[in-house]
Every structure is written in C-alpha cells, then in structure tokens.
Amino acid sequence: MTASSDDERVEKSAEQWRKDLNEEQFRVTRLKGTEPAFTGKYHDCKEPGVYRCVCCGAPLFESDTKYDSGSGWPSFYRPASEKSVKLEDDFSYGMHRLEVMCQRCDAHLGHVLEAGPGPTYQRYCINSAALDLERTQK
C-alpha cells in the first residue's frame, strides 16, 4: 500500500486494523509481537527496493542499508529518513530495549541495538511481518 502523503498521520481502530492486516501482521504491528527468527519473508532478501510499513505504506528502510546480522530478522543500519521511525523505551521481558515504531501509524516494527556496522553502528532488527518491499530495478 502506498499512501498519498508520507507525512500524513494514519489512525485506525483495532477492528479496522484487523480487517486490513493478516493475523501475523496484526499480532506483530498492533500487539507488539515478534515473528520467530529465520521465518520472515525478508530475513534473507537481497532484492533492491524500499521497505515500507505494511500498515500505512510509509517508507521505512532502503535495501542498500540492509545487511546480514545473523540474527534471523531483517537488519538495517539506518532508517530511510529521520522522520521514518520513532523510538520508545521498552521494558518488557525484564530488560530495557529501544522499540522501533512507524512514525506515521505507531506500528511496532522491532528493536534497535548498538550492535551494527558502520557508519551508524546500529542494528535495526525488524520483523518481516511489519514490512512490504517495494522492489526497484538497479
């Protein structure tokens, strides 16, 4: 889904999100779930393109920032832009992590760790279920 404006806020009821998303997408993005490692359709994807939010179509990550972290989830060293994602403290499971969310619709995407390659040294560890790859030709 590509939205008309990448800055326009998207808000829907839980019922509407359930209608618009499949069960796994809803569980991950709206209920802050996680897909099992090495099971997501993009964990090993090397195709060029822009990874968009499965909920609202906002551009989140570009394929040229994706790398194989060995974690089993798609990993990126930076978002598509500073406005793409927002970070929030997550204290679930008895630990402190930084949750990565879509800036436009608050979809849960995954977490960011200080364990990536340069130039940012960050690893945005993102669930495939939260993404939709808009393929491009290189």
Residues carrying an active site annotation: 125
Q: Using an 8 Å Cβ cutoff, are 108 and 28 in contact?
A: yes
Tell me which residue of 138, 115, 137 sits closest to 125, measured CA to CA. Answer: 115
Q: Which amino acid is at 52?
A: R
Q: DSSP strand E in 1-138: where?
A: 49-53, 59-62, 66-67, 75-76, 85-90, 97-102, 108-113, 123-126, 131-135
19 three-state secondary structure? helix
**β-sheet with 59-62: strand ranges across:** 59-62, 49-53, 131-135
Q: Which amino acid is at 96?
A: H
